Chain A
Amino acid sequence: MYRKQVRRRRAVLALLIVTSFVLLTLTYQGSNGFQGGVSAVFSPVQSVADRALKPARDLVDWFDETFDAKGENSRLKSQLITARKEAVAAQEALQENAQLRKLVELDSNPPLVYTNYREVTGRVIARSPTVWRSSVTIDLGSGDGVRVDDPVISGAGVVGRISSVGPGSSQVMLLTDHASAVSAKVVPTGVQGVIKPEVGNPEDLILDFIDSTRKIHGGQAVVTAGWRAQGLASHFPPGLPLGEVTSASILEQEANQQVDVRPYADLRNLDIVQVLAGGSRP
């Protein structure tokens, strides 16, 4: 009797393990209709749960932010001093730019490079629990005109891109996901590279493939490069703010330098995001 029970138990365990591997294989072969169905059914429930739990989340965030406030204050003060200097320099540059534009008879208000995109605003309703996958679920789906690979931004800068779309919800692969890579450039120098994450550290991105001979220093802004060549193009339009250079170090025995970038968007506390829908496809 006991032996029979043990045998049955082992069989169930083996079946569950085999099923897990089969599911994993099926997913990598690209069949995820079942997932889409479950996600579609539960996205309204998630949306309601998200709103209901917001006061409790805010309370916990308040505790966490209180711990961080002291360090944040001194960092922001030093940033403010730098920003003031940059604002003065930018005003001078704008004035000079306007004069030069007049000289070459260019339109004084050039259109933004991503005006052919439609901004759709949505809320984050769920977030992945492990550090290995960095994604959020938003309450916008194909019905709102959202498509796979559409860029996603917050008020501060780029957040990520749409990785899958359901009827009423979509998944956003954040910049901090291990599979994320965005072509970027440092302004005003124009040096180009690829922004990649450092898994486990949401406050640091790495600007890779930068020639070690190019001078880059802390405080410089990094924006999307938005390249287009030979029928291929970046999913992101050019000029979207990504982050700020925190440090640049030349790796020994390598021709590239590693540039650390702090993302402008607070990728850990996302609430409202915008999807740039309807842009041109590569």
Chain B
Amino acid sequence: MILTPKIVARVVLIGLVGVLLQLCFFSRVELFHVSPDLLPALVVCLGLLGGSMAGAVSGFAIGLFLDCLLVEALGISSLVLLGVGYLAGLFRERFEIHSSLVPALLCMGLTLLAELGFGAVQLLLGVDAPLSVLIARDLLLKSVYAFFLGWPLYLLLRRILRPALVEEPKVTRRRQPRVLGA
């Protein structure tokens, strides 16, 4: 990603809108008793478009902003989301994204990882109540929702950040010439 002041402003705005949308909309609607979590998917898409550093930094910043608005323990969301962003960026740097399914699948897998990460950090800090098996339903449905959110989100962010993206030459397969009579 080529970072210019304009692009940085766009990424900051994407982060702000994403966190506000999560807190005021996605956290407050439920489908099958589970609320979707947009933020891991947003960080994954930024990591896929910008690489590991862009993913880690945006994950950290988005997590910090989220914790500030919720007046919760600072650092938990930052730590989890920076890991998610870094992994998404690393994937982009190591592998080529051939299929349009890849961003959605990565959003799904890394959202599951993020939710497990939140759980692990919370358990390390101490949970004073018994855990319900319904947590498993919550984790799985959140990652399924991330699959469906990740798809349009990736396309939208790619469009918004297009001027900054380093386009990789498309690998096109040449059709083999057919020999008549063979």
- Answer yes or no: do A and B interact: yes
Asked whether any CB of chain B lies closer than 8 Å to the CB of A103, the reply is no
Q: Which residues of B contact A124 (CB under 8 A)?
A: 28
Q: Which residues of A contact B131 (CB under 8 A)?
A: 198-200
Nearest Cβ on chain A to B150's Cβ, whole angstroms: 16
Contact flags B37-64 to A (C-beta < 8 A → 1, else 0)? 1010000000000001100110010011
* SS class, residues of chain B in contact with chain A: helix
Asked whether any CB of chain B lies closer than 8 Å to the CB of A234, the reply is no
Q: Enumerate A153-203 residues with CB–CB distance to B below 8 Å.
A: 163-164, 166, 171, 178-181, 196-202
Q: Are B71 and A171 in contact (CB under 8 A)?
A: yes
Asked whether any CB of chain B lies closer than 8 Å to the CB of A246, the reply is no
Name B63's closest neighbour in chain A (CB-CB): A20
Q: Which of A49, A64, A137, A201 contacts B70 (CB 8 A)?
A: A137
Q: Which residues of A contact B134 (CB under 8 A)?
A: 200-201
A64-B28 contact, Cβ under 8 Å, with A19-B60, A200-B135, A200-B138: no
Q: How many contacting A-B pairs (Cβ < 8 A)?
A: 175
Q: Are A36 and B37 in contact (CB under 8 A)?
A: no
Name A163's closest neighbour in chain B (CB-CB): B71
Asked whether any CB of chain B lies closer than 8 Å to the CB of A244, the reply is no
Nearest Cβ on chain A to B171's Cβ, whole angstroms: 23
Q: Are B78 and A20 in contact (CB under 8 A)?
A: yes
Q: Are B73 and A24 in contact (CB under 8 A)?
A: yes
Q: Which residues of B contact A19 (CB under 8 A)?
A: 60, 75, 78
Asked whether any CB of chain B lies closer than 8 Å to the CB of A46, the reply is yes
Q: Which residues of A contact B31 (CB under 8 A)?
A: 60, 63-64
Q: Which of A67, A171, A196 contacts B129 (CB 8 A)?
A: A196
Asked whether any CB of chain B lies closer than 8 Å to the CB of A23, the reply is yes
Q: Are B69 and A126 in contact (CB under 8 A)?
A: yes
Q: Which residues of B contact A22 (CB under 8 A)?
A: 75
Asked whether any CB of chain A lies closer than 8 Å to the CB of B179, the reply is no
In the complex the two chains form, what is the Cα distance from A127 to B29 in whole Å?
Answer: 10
Contact flags A106-128 to B (C-beta < 8 A → 1, else 0)? 00000000000000000011111
Q: Which residues of B contact A57 (CB under 8 A)?
A: 25, 28-29
Stretch among B7-15, B114-122, B160-168 lining the A interface: B114-122
Q: Are A35 and B74 in contact (CB under 8 A)?
A: yes
Asked whether any CB of chain B lies closer than 8 Å to the CB of A79, the reply is no
Name B61's closest neighbour in chain A (CB-CB): A16
Asked whether any CB of chain A lies closer than 8 Å to the CB of B65, the reply is yes
In the complex the two chains form, what is the Cα distance from A16 to B134 in whole Å?
Answer: 33
Q: Which residues of A contact B82 (CB under 8 A)?
A: 13, 16-17, 20
Q: Which residues of B contact A179 (CB under 8 A)?
A: 128-129
Q: Which of A9, A24, A129, A181 contacts B27 (CB 8 A)?
A: A129
A132-B23 contact, Cβ under 8 Å, with A16-B56, A178-B128: no
Q: Enumerate A1-43 residues with CB–CB distance to B below 8 Å.
A: 9, 12-13, 16-17, 19-24, 26-28, 32, 34-36, 38-39, 42
In the complex the two chains form, what is the Cα distance from A171 to B69 in whole Å?
Answer: 10
In the complex the two chains form, what is the Cα distance from A28 to B72 in whole Å?
Answer: 10
Q: Are A35 and B68 in contact (CB under 8 A)?
A: yes
Name A25's closest neighbour in chain B (CB-CB): B75
Asked whether any CB of chain B lies closer than 8 Å to the CB of A94, the reply is no
Q: Which residues of B contact A32 (CB under 8 A)?
A: 71, 74
Q: Are B26 and A129 in contact (CB under 8 A)?
A: yes
Q: Enumerate A36-65 residues with CB–CB distance to B below 8 Å.
A: 36, 38-39, 42, 45-46, 49-50, 53, 56-57, 60-61, 63-64
Nearest Cβ on chain A to B182's Cβ, whole angstroms: 47
- 5 A-B Cβ contacts within 8 A? A20-B63, A22-B75, A42-B69, A53-B25, A133-B122
Given contact pairs A20-B78, A53-B21, A128-B27, a sample of 15 additional A-B residue pairs in the complex whose CB atoms are under 8 Å apart: A16-B78, A19-B60, A19-B78, A34-B68, A46-B23, A46-B24, A50-B24, A57-B29, A132-B122, A178-B122, A199-B127, A200-B133, A204-B132, A206-B130, A268-B33
| A residues at B contact (CB < 8 Å) | 9, 12-13, 16-17, 19-24, 26-28, 32, 34-36, 38-39, 42, 45-46, 49-50, 53, 56-57, 60-61, 63-64, 67, 124-133, 135, 137, 163-164, 166, 171, 178-181, 196-202, 204, 206, 268-269
